[in-house]
């Protein structure tokens, strides 16, 4: 039996918003498994905004994906075959297989997950990179005190939803910003934020100000653009801004969309109100991940940490789902279901 | 004998760069001295960029100066008459008399200075607010480690000159940016910075990059504009940016000068390189001022901390000197000599 693998490669670099033609679905022969390695079968693929950066060749913290190479991405995978003594066939792991059905790994980048704790797809979201990003930014930079106001952009998203819920667990007020009535209702009623404001509302800035009668002490920034403009006047003295991303600008060209230079006004507010802006990536706090996973599993178990996943079926649909992600079309952590094979909780050993 | 006082009031709010017509010189009668107060005679008046903000009525951390009121400012003053038990006639103090020859104070805002330590004008500069601003920003935010590179904008100025010298005292490399060959020569040869780059040079960005072969770990920001654009690509991972001011934008209207939005590119660098931007004002660290004054007096005494003052004679020349300050025309801490009366070191008591 010769099996083939399917994969999506970067066909060309996008100029502005990615289009389907920037991606190409390919078939390839299943690679041989060398000694000391494992063969992974992708069950779930995570789609995340940072991938847009990797499609460009601008100088960045991470190397660009070469043209013709597989798109990068975290996966939840099953070990289909093992020639590595630390890993067994059937183990469920978080891997970095990218946008493909199978991959080979030497095990160094794998993290075993326990299907008994939560559905394994959560290893890409609330119990994965996005959940940990929220936790690390809040714990190390935002540091909300009880009673303070935490404003969260993209509050129904994978990171923002966790930021607001942890802020509330820590005794702060959480004000979420999301796009559309459905997402706001979810943020307010399902996730339990104190308020949720629709950034599509023509009165967005005024409504946000009303939801923050005591100003804003922490603004978790992952959007930029008009949301930042609305938050800026509300920032209190000594506010902290964990800067996680600016998705509204990821499809900008070098010059940005605005013809107004918003930098001086932003820096003025930061200077005059003694505000801290701290860019970060979760990897710099990676030694806190075990503590996070333990705490978060407890919060999920007792119902204080909820999550929503937006699962798209089929690897071939990853490009359109990713394009939609950059436009805010997903609702919850965006995940592609790549394989339909058995991956549910295993039966107890007999 | 009826004496009069002279003062400069805000005649109108500037639109863009201030002009002489925004100021008005007035005479007024000497106020009576109430019990529990002191009458101050201004010897030196400090001119500082922050005053531009106080001339506007935009919402800010500090109230705008009302039209017709005296321009604010720190002074070195002599106590001409005291009806306050803690203060004696002849004491030399740092006060906040503003742009006028005399003022009344209840003593709560006065700091006595010792003419034996250094010329009293230094109470407005290297041993005053600007020196302390440099110290506080570096100690609390910049935190340079030995061998790291500290880039200082406006390096010949009152704050920047102290930043670079303290950075060197702490074992870091100091790279100064200044406008023109004279200022650069002063920064390099008199202040002892490791390098000084002229931002008027057409090759400014390249020269700055060459002066920072290991990148930039601390950027002390008090300029903004093109200087920030040149520093941005040089910033190392985990760089710290004490944000003290952005003088290049103080005369901007609300929209700024650029038609390119520089905010997204700036935030992208901050995010991807885990950079900290922290706005600050020296007052938040005011409990460190005694330690600063003691250390700085020692550094001045042993020649490690040098300073330059640009002293303009006559209160009536304060407006033109201030207008020049915003254009970078001063060379060293800008001070107006208001009174020619005796203020030198007193003779030892007999």
Interval B246-274: pLDDT, tens: 776 666 654 456 678 888 889 999 999 99
Q: What is the mean pLDDT of residues A257-272?
A: 85
For β-strands B111-112 and A23-29, DSSP reports them as unpaired
Q: Is the pLDDT of residue B341 over 70?
A: no
Mean pLDDT, rounded, of chain A: 91
Q: Dihedral, CA atoms, A73, A79, A81, A87, nearest 10 degrees?
A: 110
Taking contacts as CB-CB distances below 8 angstroms, the residues of chain B near A278 are 270, 274-277
Structure tokens at B319: 């407006």
Q: Name the residue of chain B whose CA is nearest to A277's CA.
A: B277
At B221-234, the pLDDT tens digits run: 987 788 999 999 99
**Can you tell me the distance from the alpha carbon of A201 to that of A207, in angstroms, rounded to the nearest whole number?**
9
Note whether B75 and B43 are within 8 A (CB). yes
Say yes or no: B279 contacts chain A, CB-CB below 8 A: yes
**Can you tell me the distance from the alpha carbon of B174 to that of B86, in angstroms, rounded to the nearest whole number?**
43
Q: What is the mean pLDDT of residues B7-13?
A: 97
Q: What is the mean pLDDT of residues A189-208?
A: 97
State residue A259's pLDDT score: 73
State residue B342's pLDDT score: 47
State residue A91's pLDDT score: 95
Taking contacts as CB-CB distances below 8 angstroms, the residues of chain A near B257 are 261
Note whether A72 and A48 are within 8 A (CB). no
State residue B60's pLDDT score: 62
**B23: closest CA among B313, B319, B322, B314?**
B319
State residue A332's pLDDT score: 87
Say yes or no: B275 contacts chain A, CB-CB below 8 A: yes
Note whether A234 and A151 are within 8 A (CB). yes
Q: A280–B262: do the CB atoms touch at under 8 Å? A: no
Q: How far is B238 from chain A (nearest CA, A)?
A: 9
At B135-186, the pLDDT tens digits run: 999 999 999 999 999 999 999 999 999 999 999 999 999 999 999 999 999 9
At A108-123, the pLDDT tens digits run: 999 999 999 899 999 9
Residue of B342 and A279 predicted with greater confidence: A279
Say yes or no: A270 contacts chain B, CB-CB below 8 A: yes
The band of B238, judged by pLDDT with boundaries at 50, 70 and 90, is very high
Chain B, 293-332: which have a CB under 8 Å from a chain A CB?
Answer: none
Q: B256–A262: do the CB atoms touch at under 8 Å? A: yes
Structure tokens at A271: 């200077």
Q: Is the pLDDT of residue B347 over 60?
A: no
Residue of A107 and A348 predicted with greater confidence: A107
Of A221, A260, A273, the CB nearest to B261: A260
ipTM here: 0.86
Q: Name the residue of chain A whose CA is nearest to B259's CA.
A: A259
Of A60, A260, A271, the CB nearest to B272: A60
- φ, ψ for residue B151 (rounded to 5)? -100, 135
Of B60, B244, B266, the CB nearest to A263: B266
The band of A63, judged by pLDDT with boundaries at 50, 70 and 90, is confident
Q: What is the mean pLDDT of residues A157-183?
A: 96
Taking contacts as CB-CB distances below 8 angstroms, the residues of chain B near A237 are 61
State residue A21's pLDDT score: 97
Residue of B36 and B49 predicted with greater confidence: B36
Residue of A163 and B2 predicted with greater confidence: A163
Q: How far is A77 from chain B (nearest CA, A)?
A: 28
**B271: closest CA among B282, B279, B263?**
B263
The band of B3, judged by pLDDT with boundaries at 50, 70 and 90, is confident
Q: A274–B263: do the CB atoms touch at under 8 Å? A: no
Say yes or no: A131 contacts chain B, CB-CB below 8 A: no
Q: Is the pLDDT of residue A248 over 80?
A: no
Q: A261–B265: do the CB atoms touch at under 8 Å? A: no
Q: What is the mean pLDDT of residues B65-89?
A: 96
Question: pTM of the full predicted structure?
Answer: 0.87
State residue B225's pLDDT score: 80
When mean pLDDT is compared across A36-45, A271-280, B91-100, B246-255, the lowest value belongs to: B246-255
Of B60, B245, B256, the CB nearest to A260: B256
- Classify A67 in phi/psi space as left (phi over 0), alpha (psi -120 to 50) or beta: beta
State residue A226's pLDDT score: 85
| Three state DSSP letters for chain A | CCCEEEEEEECCCCCCCCCHHHEEEEEEECCCCCCCCEEEEEEEEECCCHHHHHHCCCCCCCCCCCCCCECCCCEEEEEEEECCCCCCCCCEEEECCCCECEEEECCCCCEECCCCCCCHHHHHCCCCHHHHHHHHHHHHHHCCCCCCEEEECCCCCCCHHHHHHHHHHCCCEEEEEECCHHHHHHHHHHCCCCEEEECCCCCHHHHHHHHCCCCEEEEEECCCHHHHHHHHHHEEEEEEEEECCCHHHCCCCCCCCCCCCCHHHHHHHHHHCCCEEEECCHHHHHHHHHHHHHHHHHHHHCCCCCCCEEEEECHHHHHHHHHHHHCCCCCCEEEEECCCCCCCCCCCCC
Taking contacts as CB-CB distances below 8 angstroms, the residues of chain B near A284 are 274
| Three state DSSP letters for chain B | CCCEEEEEEECCCCCCCCCHHHEEEEEEECCCCCCCCEEEEEEEEECCCHHHHHHCCCCCCCCCCCCCCECCCCEEEEEEEECCCCCCCCCEEEECCCCECEEEECCCCCEECCCCCCCHHHHHCCCCHHHHHHHHHHHHHHCCCCCCEEEECCCCCCCHHHHHHHHHHCCCEEEEEECCHHHHHHHHHHCCCCEEEECCCCCHHHHHHHHCCCCEEEEEECCCHHHHHHHHHHEEEEEEEEECCCHHHCCCCCCCCCCCCCHHHHHHHHHHCCCEEEECCHHHHHHHHHHHHHHHHHHHHCCCCCCCEEEEECHHHHHHHHHHHHCCCCCCEEEEECCCCCCCCCCCCC
Q: B278–A274: do the CB atoms touch at under 8 Å? A: yes
At B82-93, the pLDDT tens digits run: 999 999 999 999
Q: Is the pLDDT of residue A106 over 70?
A: yes
Say yes or no: A13 contacts chain B, CB-CB below 8 A: no
Q: A249–B264: do the CB atoms touch at under 8 Å? A: yes
Note whether B280 and B243 are within 8 A (CB). yes
Tell me the count of A-B CB pairs closer than 8 A.
Answer: 136
- Domains belonging to chain B, first-starting first, are 4-125+307-337 (3.90.180.10), 130-300 (3.40.50.720)
Say yes or no: B263 contacts chain A, CB-CB below 8 A: yes
State residue B20's pLDDT score: 97
Taking contacts as CB-CB distances below 8 angstroms, the residues of chain B near A277 are 267, 270, 276-278
Taking contacts as CB-CB distances below 8 angstroms, the residues of chain A near B249 are 264, 267-268
Chain B, 35-64: which have a CB under 8 Å from a chain A CB?
Answer: 53, 59-61
User: How many CA atoms does the CB half-sphere of A121 hold within 13 Å?
Assistant: 21
**Can you tell me the distance from the alpha carbon of B336 to that of B127, in angstroms, rounded to the nearest whole number?**
17
The band of A262, judged by pLDDT with boundaries at 50, 70 and 90, is confident
State residue A225's pLDDT score: 80
Taking contacts as CB-CB distances below 8 angstroms, the residues of chain B near A255 are 260-261
Best residue in A221, A228, A268 for a mutation probing chain B (most B CBs within 10 Å): A268
Best residue in A258, A263, A266 for a mutation probing chain B (most B CBs within 10 Å): A263
Of A249, A260, A271, the CB nearest to B246: A271
Q: How far is A285 from chain B (nearest CA, A)?
A: 11
Of A245, A275, A279, the CB nearest to B275: A279
Say yes or no: B278 contacts chain A, CB-CB below 8 A: yes
Q: Is the pLDDT of residue A1 over 80?
A: no
> Could you give the maximum distance between any two Cα atoms of chain B, in Å?
69
Q: Is the pLDDT of residue A252 over 70?
A: no
């Amino acid at each position: 039996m010769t099996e083939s693998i399917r994969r999506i490669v970067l066909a060309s670099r996008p100029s502005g918003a990615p289009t389907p033609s920037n991606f190409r679905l390919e078939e390839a022969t299943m690679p041989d498994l060398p000694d000391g390695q494992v063969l992974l079968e992708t069950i779930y693929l995570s789609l995340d905004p940072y991938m847009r950066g990797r499609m460009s060749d601008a100088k960045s913290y991470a190397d660009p994906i070469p043209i013709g190479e597989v798109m990068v991405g975290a996966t939840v995978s099953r070990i289909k075959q093992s020639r590595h003594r630390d890993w067994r066939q059937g183990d469920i792991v978080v891997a970095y297989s990218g946008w493909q059905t199978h991959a080979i790994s030497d095990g160094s980048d794998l993290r075993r997950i326990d299907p008994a704790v939560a559905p394994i797809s959560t290893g890409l979201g609330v119990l994965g990179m996005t959940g940990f990003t929220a936790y690390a930014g809040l714990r190390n930079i935002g540091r909300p005190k009880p009673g303070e106001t935490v404003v969260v952009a993209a509050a129904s998203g994978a990171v923002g939803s966790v930021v607001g819920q942890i802020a509330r667990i820590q005794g702060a007020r959480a004000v979420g910003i999301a796009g559309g009535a459905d997402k706001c209702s979810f943020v307010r009623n399902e996730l339990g934020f104190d308020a949720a404001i629709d950034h599509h509302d023509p009165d967005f800035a005024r409504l946000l100000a009303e939801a923050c009668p005591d100003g804003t002490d922490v603004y978790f920034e992952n959007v930029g653009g008009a949301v930042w403009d609305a938050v800026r006047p509300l920032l209190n003295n000594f506010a902290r801004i964990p800067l996680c991303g600016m998705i509204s600008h990821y499809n900008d060209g070098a010059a940005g969309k605005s013809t107004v230079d918003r930098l001086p006004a932003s820096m003025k507010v930061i200077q005059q109100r003694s505000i801290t802006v701290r860019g970060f990536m979760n990897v710099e706090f990676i030694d806190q991940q075990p503590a996070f996973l333990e705490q978060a599993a407890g919060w999920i178990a007792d119902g204080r940490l909820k999550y929503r996943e937006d699962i798209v079926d089929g690897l071939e649909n990853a490009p359109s789902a990713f394009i939609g992600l950059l436009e805010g079309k997903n609702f919850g952590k965006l995940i592609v279901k790549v394989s339909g094979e058995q991956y549910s909780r295993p039966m107890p050993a007999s």
